[in-house]
């Protein structure tokens, strides 16, 4: 994931980064990022929104606002399988394997 972050920061594709940068330089960038993190524009915007919203907007849950509340994230709705669904899926796989 770091290569994507660095490529975006340097305004190039990951493929271009791979062609133009040695492994040694990439490691140096990783060390540099640990000491002086490359800015994350989504996080910076989220922090500003948090401070703007805090005195004016109340959260439905009653808690405090966080920067991530204002950052685009894909919230995946996960379906928890029941015991019967697990057994049916297992039976389907084992029956297809036994037919081979």
Q: How confident is the model at residue 100 (pLDDT cuts 50, 70, 90)?
A: low
Of 50, 59, 2, 61, nearest in space to 29 by CA = 2
Residue 77 has pLDDT above 80, yes or no: no
Q: What is the Cα–Cα distance from 67 to 71, expressed in whole angstroms?
A: 7
Q: What is the Cα–Cα distance from 54 to 73, expressed in whole angstroms?
A: 21
* pLDDT on residue 74: 66
Of 13, 11, 17, nearest in space to 30 by CA = 17
Give whole-number Cα distances, 61 to 31, 57, 89, in Å. Answer: 39, 12, 37
Whether residue 81 contacts residue 89, with contact meaning beta carbons closer than 8 Å, is answered with yes
| Structure confidence by residue, pLDDT tens digits, 8-67 | 999 999 999 999 999 999 999 999 999 999 888 888 999 999 999 988 888 888 888 899
Kindly list the domain boundaries of the chain, sorted by start residue.
1-38, 40-71
């Amino acid at each position: 994931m770091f290569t994507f972050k660095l490529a975006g920061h340097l305004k190039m594709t990951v493929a271009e980064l791979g062609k133009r940068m040695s492994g040694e330089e990439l490691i140096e960038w990783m060390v540099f990022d640990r000491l002086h993190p490359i800015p994350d524009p989504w996080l910076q915007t989220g922090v500003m929104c948090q401070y703007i919203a805090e005195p004016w907007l109340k959260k439905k849950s009653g808690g405090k606002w966080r920067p991530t509340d204002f950052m685009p994230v894909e919230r995946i709705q996960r379906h928890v399988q029941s015991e019967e669904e697990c057994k049916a899926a297992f039976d389907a796989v084992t029956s297809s394997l036994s037919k081979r």
